[in-house]
A and B are shown apart, each in its own frame.
Chain A
Amino acid sequence: MAVPRELRQISDAVWELPVSWKPGMRVPARLYGTRDLVEHFDDGVFEQAANVATLPGIQKYSFCMPDGHWGYGFPIGGVAAFDPDEGVISPGGIGFDINCGMRLVATNLTCGEVEPHLHRLVDRLFERIPSGVGSTGFVRLDEDEFLDVVEQGSRWCLRNGYALPEDLELTEEQGCMEGADAAKVSHKAVQRGHNQIGTLGSGNHYLEIQVARKENIFNPGLARAFGITMPDQVVVMYHCGSRGFGHQVATDYLHVLLDVMERVYGIRIIDRELACAPFRSPQGQDYFSAMKCAVNMSFANRQVILHRVREVFSDVFGKSPDDLGIRQVYDVTHNTAKLEEHVIDGRRRRVLIHRKGSTRAFGPGMEGIPERYKPFGQPVIIGGSMETGSYLLAGVESGDQTFYSTAHGSGRVMSRHSARKKYQGKNLVREMQFRGIYVRTASLRGLAEEAGGAYKDIDAVARASELAGISTPVVRLTPIGNIKG
């Protein structure tokens, strides 16, 4: 991989590509990562971060997080803020899987208490939370009811017995982005998604049983504040999104915006996947409203899955979810655009932040995080590969440098095709079992594509985020059970 010669090191884990690197760049691109991570970025990361820097209304920098890799339009790990009056909104800055995100749920069980029941637990979760190609959920909704879900997100779940009030409090945006308008989504999107609530999907989506081992609790104070209170505590972490509904919203609006971008608004772009429209334009606003529907569908999806997790744990351990201490730690979104207030050049301004494969990481005291976490900063959940582990981190004050954004996962380094050639699903299941991780999967080949070796080193990603001052590691979580789409 060739690192551009013009790439300048700003600090230990921050690098900059100047505007002179590519014609049309309005701001420099800033890439986050240690030297080793940045040297291993694929070429697409530099190209795409620079392409984003050419978009109208971009503020300060086009960012890429330490887990960055090549994406469509924006790189995965791309973050950019736009002036809402002069800037654009771009589906390519959000991704096809709108509000793909992570949820972390604590229990009061220890690894020793769970291990004797682990196979039954994982088997039951695998049965009760459908995954893989074409899977449908247990919540049967007609299309009209589904429109309520996409406008109300987790609030719909609360009204229908799939949530506790506390779950909503502990979800980004409290599980519902205001301003979602179902009139702005296509019938096709509704048809694709209305039967998919409560399903994991496939690809890199998963649910894991994990353990907070004593030696991996780096910040006991923050860990306690977030509900990780004892060594070997068992938690559940999962990663999924807005399923076919969100994918269709993204696809629909990619074309709507492509059709008007140059013809109506005179915007020329480098890459079709960067299709965009002025944020204040009718098409820009329509997409924003439709995107919020997909954000809400995804919150509802993860909420219904939590309901299933509670049921399964309760069945397997013969105790109520409350007695098992099943409590949501937090739910974070990855692929969104949001209006947020940030200080830019000394002035507090409202900007439209695109985060694609990046987690919001608000620092202590900021509005928008649950009251109980305010003194500590926002919990950040970073999912690693299924073999290695994941992290719980916290947002920090110095996160203002990236508009309070950090990494979201480990980031792929090996193509799916190469991973399938290198790893065999069956062997992987055996090897993981040998190392104490029990896996159930909808597809053995899909499993091989997700092998640990196909991803960057999650520890390096977490370290880089700390070194750069955009989030601080709290606990490293080790998998013992995994269900994989």
Chain B
Amino acid sequence: MPYTYLEEIAIADAAFEARADTREGLFVEAGDALVNVMVEDLKSVRPLVRRSFHAQAEDLERLLFEYLQQFIFFKDAEQLLLRVSKVAITEESGMLELTAEAAGEKIDPKRHDLNADVKAVTLHRFRVRHEPGGWTAVVVLDI
């Protein structure tokens, strides 16, 4: 799996490490890792509604943070579980800009095998790295 949950970083919460060849791919995996904390089977989330994510930040870590926040936002504001299949990141005068196309559906406890709610993305041990083997991110979520 392109992401794994880290057991003992946060005893009261959930943490994951996501990996991908590209930074765009890393964002896709990290989004799935977050949503997978809330719903057991990502395949049960049908792409019935679409939302666009936009985020801006000075660095990639902050950009990932802002991007992950959007999954939590739509979960509370519109009760949507979303998955992102495509991310585009561009750079303009020192600012990183992200656009992502998300698709998903309204939470339905009858269809979705739900786990714990994610309250927030924390900055604890939050990091994005580009290593010879590809991109990795470590994220701790508040439950």
Chain A positions within 8 Å of B, measured between CB atoms, are 42, 69-72, 76, 96-97, 132-134, 136, 188, 191-193, 196, 201-204, 243-244, 247-248, 250-251, 254, 258, 271-273, 412-418, 442-443, 445-446, 449, 485
In Å, the complex CA distance between A71 and B38 comes to: 21
The answer to whether B116 and A203 touch across the interface, beta carbons within 8 angstroms, is yes
The answer to whether A251 and B121 touch across the interface, beta carbons within 8 angstroms, is yes
CB nearest neighbor in A for B121: A251
A244 / chain B contacts, CB cutoff of 8 Å: 72, 76-77, 119
Chain B interfacial residues counted at CB < 8 A: 37
CB nearest neighbor in A for B106: A134
Of the candidates A193, A251, A412, which one forms a contact with B69 in the assembled complex, judged by CB atoms under 8 Å apart? Answer: A251
A136 / chain B contacts, CB cutoff of 8 Å: 79
**B57 CB, nearest partner CB in chain A, Å:** 10
B72 / chain A contacts, CB cutoff of 8 Å: 192, 244, 247
The answer to whether B107 and A134 touch across the interface, beta carbons within 8 angstroms, is yes
**A42-B11, A416-B12, A417-B7 are known contacts. Are A192 and B116 too (CB-CB below 8 A)?**
no
The answer to whether A69 and B119 touch across the interface, beta carbons within 8 angstroms, is no
In Å, the complex CA distance between A77 and B85 comes to: 40
CB nearest neighbor in B for A188: B73
Of the candidates B10, B73, B117, B122, which one forms a contact with A202 in the assembled complex, judged by CB atoms under 8 Å apart? Answer: B117
Asked if B40 is at the interface (CB within 8 A of a chain A CB), the reply is yes
Encode contact with A along B112-143: 1 for CB under 8 Å, 0 otherwise. 01111101111110100000000000001011
Of the candidates A71, A196, A247, A416, which one forms a contact with B120 in the assembled complex, judged by CB atoms under 8 Å apart? Answer: A247
Of the candidates A70, A203, A271, A418, which one forms a contact with B143 in the assembled complex, judged by CB atoms under 8 Å apart? Answer: A203
B122 / chain A contacts, CB cutoff of 8 Å: 72, 96, 273
**A244-B76, A443-B114 are known contacts. Are A70 and B10 too (CB-CB below 8 A)?**
yes
In Å, the complex CA distance between A188 and B69 comes to: 11
The answer to whether B14 and A196 touch across the interface, beta carbons within 8 angstroms, is no
CB nearest neighbor in A for B11: A415
Encode contact with A along B52-93: 1 for CB under 8 Å, 0 otherwise. 000000000000000001001101110111000000000000
* 8 new A-B contacts at CB < 8 Å, known A250-B120, A446-B115: A134-B81, A203-B143, A273-B123, A415-B12, A417-B5, A442-B109, A443-B113, A443-B115
**B86 CB, nearest partner CB in chain A, Å:** 24
In Å, the complex CA distance between A201 and B14 comes to: 16
**B109 CB, nearest partner CB in chain A, Å:** 7
B115 / chain A contacts, CB cutoff of 8 Å: 133, 443, 445-446
In Å, the complex CA distance between A415 and B7 comes to: 7
CB nearest neighbor in B for A44: B11
Asked if B26 is at the interface (CB within 8 A of a chain A CB), the reply is no
Asked if B21 is at the interface (CB within 8 A of a chain A CB), the reply is no
B33 / chain A contacts, CB cutoff of 8 Å: none
The answer to whether B11 and A133 touch across the interface, beta carbons within 8 angstroms, is no
In Å, the complex CA distance between A301 and B21 comes to: 45
**B56 CB, nearest partner CB in chain A, Å:** 13
A248 / chain B contacts, CB cutoff of 8 Å: 73
The answer to whether A416 and B14 touch across the interface, beta carbons within 8 angstroms, is yes
Of the candidates A71, A201, A254, A442, which one forms a contact with B114 in the assembled complex, judged by CB atoms under 8 Å apart? Answer: A442
In Å, the complex CA distance between A253 and B116 comes to: 24
CB nearest neighbor in B for A70: B11
The answer to whether B10 and A96 touch across the interface, beta carbons within 8 angstroms, is no
The answer to whether B116 and A449 touch across the interface, beta carbons within 8 angstroms, is yes
**A249 CB, nearest partner CB in chain B, Å:** 10
In Å, the complex CA distance between A188 and B77 comes to: 8
The answer to whether B124 and A133 touch across the interface, beta carbons within 8 angstroms, is no
The answer to whether A132 and B114 touch across the interface, beta carbons within 8 angstroms, is yes
B45 / chain A contacts, CB cutoff of 8 Å: none
The answer to whether A416 and B79 touch across the interface, beta carbons within 8 angstroms, is no
The interface centre, meaning the residue of B81, B119, B142 with most chain A CB atoms within 10 A of its CB, is B119
Q: Which of B4-44 contact A (CB under 8 A)?
A: 5, 7-8, 10-14, 38-40
The answer to whether B11 and A414 touch across the interface, beta carbons within 8 angstroms, is yes
A188 / chain B contacts, CB cutoff of 8 Å: 73, 77
**A244 CB, nearest partner CB in chain B, Å:** 3
CB nearest neighbor in A for B140: A72
A42 / chain B contacts, CB cutoff of 8 Å: 11
The answer to whether A247 and B12 touch across the interface, beta carbons within 8 angstroms, is no
**A72-B142, A443-B115, A445-B40 are known contacts. Are A272 and B120 too (CB-CB below 8 A)?**
no
**B78 CB, nearest partner CB in chain A, Å:** 9
The answer to whether A196 and B76 touch across the interface, beta carbons within 8 angstroms, is yes
CB<8 Å pairs between A and B, sample of 28: A70-B11, A72-B123, A96-B120, A133-B38, A133-B107, A133-B117, A134-B75, A191-B77, A202-B116, A243-B76, A247-B72, A247-B119, A247-B120, A254-B123, A258-B123, A272-B124, A413-B11, A415-B7, A415-B11, A415-B12, A416-B11, A417-B7, A418-B7, A442-B109, A443-B116, A445-B40, A445-B116, A446-B114
